[in-house]
């Protein structure tokens, strides 16, 4: 049964499994553990003593493989919903013993073929033995090429020593990896398997944990389960199992990122069924790991429920969306409605307009002076409303021009003006702001043309064209905005882009609600635009080179791409943004932007990462180009805007 109810959480992390020993009575194994409170079992599929080489060659064709029962002993739904296959742990495909190596390859293929026949959702692969896993990875990669929808969980110990990670002492094998950091073993294996989307990780959580920065890398990896050993538990004052604070925080993180917990090992805490002593028969029926399961359930249930905003965004998590083309395309009513629901954004705009009005007109002149305000890109009117509310709040007189190029939105604007009685205050202009000739100059120019990366929806080009409407001392809201970027590990997004099997999608920047990713270094500022911009030599082309340093205790990392954000100053101290350290709370109009890399970049512990990004402007389009030059060079992505651009 699920660990409990947590508002908004419908993920797999509600289900907890248990690792079992081999038993050819699978119905008993399943019923005992399901009745004991677990949701699934991780069970060996093959008799552990089986070795293909021990079978007489004469009887090989007629012998029956020693699987844990026929496929008929459980229903198809029981096999697929409640059993994860555990591949024999003796398997060693990189052994120097040729017989063991050949036996391992035969057994691996036999067991996975049987698991596929049973329609299991996942199988647990044993941890690679030793420093080299080339042959093991080759065999798994062969199997992955023809596998059904089954996931293969590679078992990896969650460990990283604090020693020197810079070399593998005394090892001459170029495929060898540093065993002091288990992430290196996983990375080597998945690179050999071409980052296959059906290869994922089962982390063995031990009593000792690596540093928080080292743990953070795994968030961006395809971790499907965490195997929690009973000897990792401490004992509380009442004799019950509990976990250290760091282990508790790690489990909370696993729950949040939809990682399933699997309990493993023998009971090392002897506790009664409840606080009092229970009859022997009742004790015998109770699962020996029930107290551990109850504690995991307690940790799950004490998690804070997802905030309403996060529940709203659940369906968008790690879902790649192409950025808007605001000048080429007209937005649909549904898109307008989504943006208009973001009350936090319009409260910030109203605050900014209020401050600008007070600065523009003194209290003594408030009744005699009318401020001319232009909303460029008025949409269906939310900024018009915010501006009029700011005027009412400050007691200033306001004349509003609402400029909008989308004829469909203009229809809504006209009906809104009649409905709200704004006829004397608001003039609607159905025109592209770049073409309109204003009858008078504006004191304040208000716009919401910002994209996820600040300038990626052509705000600089639009506002440069519109600033001719402003008086020389006029105010632009926003007055400036800056883009930010940081390197990330995100296997999920990389594999989603890779599915398209073309260059175009690896050279497109996506808007995405980032979830399963590891932020490897603090974000850095990229491009800043200020409005109005009266510079005689102004250009909106930009270039920036950034050097990112990863904390040394993180260990080595892999970069799948870069996450982009923005922060805007609307007016004076009123800001708006999504850069993680300064993000405006509870605002959902913008998700971050993601710049993928065609090939992931491996960065060794302590090595810097050099990233270059260009904002390029042509006669008909604006586009970005980006690349990495250290520790290795990537191709320059999106040269000449061949794959992704924003039309002028």
Active site amino acids:
448, 457
Nearest-angstrom CA–CA distance, 227 and 203: 6
Nearest-angstrom CA–CA distance, 437 and 595: 38
Nearest-angstrom CA–CA distance, 88 and 572: 65
What element of type H or E holds 255?
A: helix 245-256
Is residue 604 within 8 A of residue 556, CB to CB? The reply is yes
Question: What would the DSSP string read from start to end of 585-600?
Answer: TT--S---EEEEEEEE
Q: Give the residues across from 617 on adjacent strands.
A: 622
Nearest-angstrom CA–CA distance, 176 and 179: 9
Q: Single out the residue of 583, 490, 9 nearest to residue 216, CA to CA.
A: 490
394: helix, strand or coil:
helix
Nearest-angstrom CA–CA distance, 288 and 270: 9
Is residue 433 within 8 A of residue 464, CB to CB? The reply is no
Is residue 189 within 8 A of residue 136, CB to CB? The reply is yes
Structure tokens at 265: 């090992």
> Parallel, antiparallel, or unpaired: how do β-strands 151-157 and 122-125 relate?
parallel
Write a three-state SS string for 460-486: HHHHHHHHHHEEEEEEEECCEEEEEEE
């Amino acid at each position: 049964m699920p660990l409990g109810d947590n508002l908004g959480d419908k993920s797999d992390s509600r289900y907890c499994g248990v690792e079992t020993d081999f038993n050819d009575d699978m119905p008993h194994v399943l019923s005992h553990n399901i009745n004991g409170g677990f949701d699934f079992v991780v069970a060996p599929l093959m008799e552990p003593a089986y070795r293909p080489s021990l079978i007489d060659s004469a009887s090989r064709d007629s012998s029956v493989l020693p699987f844990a029962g026929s496929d008929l002993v459980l229903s198809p739904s029981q096999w697929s919903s409640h059993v994860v296959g555990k591949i024999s742990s003796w398997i060693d495909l990189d052994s120097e013993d040729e017989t063991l190596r050949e036996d391992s390859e035969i057994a691996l293929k036999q067991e996975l073929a049987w698991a596929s026949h049973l329609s299991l959702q996942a199988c647990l692969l044993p941890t690679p033995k030793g420093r080299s896993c080339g042959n093991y990875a080759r065999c798994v990669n062969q199997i992955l090429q023809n596998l059904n929808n089954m996931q293969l969980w590679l078992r990896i110990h969650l460990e990283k020593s604090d020693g020197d990670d810079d070399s593998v002492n005394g090892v001459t094998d170029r495929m060898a990896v540093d065993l002091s950091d288990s992430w290196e073993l996983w990375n080597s294996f998945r690179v050999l398997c071409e980052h296959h989307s059906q290869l994922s990780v089962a982390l063995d959580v031990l009593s000792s944990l690596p540093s928080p920065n080292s743990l953070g890398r795994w968030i961006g990896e395809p971790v499907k389960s965490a195997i929690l050993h009973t000897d990792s538990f401490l004992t509380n004052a009442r004799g019950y199992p509990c976990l250290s604070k760091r282990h508790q925080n790690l489990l909370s993180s696993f729950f949040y990122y939809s990682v399933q917990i699997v309990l493993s090992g023998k009971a090392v805490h002897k506790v009664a069924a409840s606080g009092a002593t229970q009859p022997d028969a009742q004790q015998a029926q109770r699962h020996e790991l029930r107290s551990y399961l109850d504690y995991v359930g307690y940790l799950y249930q004490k998690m804070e429920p997802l905030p309403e905003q996060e529940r709203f965004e659940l369906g968008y998590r790690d879902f790649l969306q192409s950025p808007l083309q605001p000048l080429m395309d007209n937005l649909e009513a549904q898109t307008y409605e989504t943006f208009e629901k973001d009350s936090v954004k319009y409260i910030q705009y109203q605050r900014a307009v209020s401050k600008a009005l007070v600065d523009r007109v003194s209290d003594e002149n408030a009744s005699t002076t009318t401020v001319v305000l232009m909303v460029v890109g008025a949409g269906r009117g939310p900024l018009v409303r915010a501006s009029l509310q700011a005027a009412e709040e400050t007691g200033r007189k306001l004349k509003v021009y609402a400029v909008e190029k989308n004829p469909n939105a203009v229809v809504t604007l006209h009906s809104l003006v009649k409905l709200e009685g704004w006829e004397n205050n608001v003039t609607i202009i159905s025109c592209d702001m770049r073409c309109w000739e204003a009858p008078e100059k504006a004191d304040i120019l208000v716009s919401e043309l910002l994209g996820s990366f600040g300038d990626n929806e052509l705000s600089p080009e639009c506002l440069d064209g519109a600033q001719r409407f402003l008086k020389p001392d006029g105010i632009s809201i926003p007055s400036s905005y800056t883009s930010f970027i940081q390197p990330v590990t995100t296997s999920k997004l990389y594999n989603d882009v890779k599915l398209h099997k073309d260059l175009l999608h690896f050279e497109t920047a996506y808007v995405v609600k980032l979830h399963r990713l590891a932020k490897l270094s603090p974000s850095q500022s990229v491009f800043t635009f200020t409005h109005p911009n009266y510079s005689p030599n102004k250009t909106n082309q930009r270039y920036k080179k950034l050097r990112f340093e990863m904390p040394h205790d993180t260990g080595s990392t892999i970069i799948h791409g870069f996450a982009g954000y923005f922060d805007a100053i609307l007016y004076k101290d009123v800001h708006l943004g999504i850069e993680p350290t300064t993000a405006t709370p509870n605002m959902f109009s913008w998700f971050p932007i993601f710049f993928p890399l065609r090939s992931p970049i491996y960065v060794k512990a302590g090595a810097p990462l050099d990233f270059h990004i260009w904002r390029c402007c042509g006669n008909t389009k604006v586009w970005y180009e980006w690349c990495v030059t250290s520790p290795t060079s990537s191709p320059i992505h999106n040269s000449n805007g061949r794959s992704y651009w924003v039309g002028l």
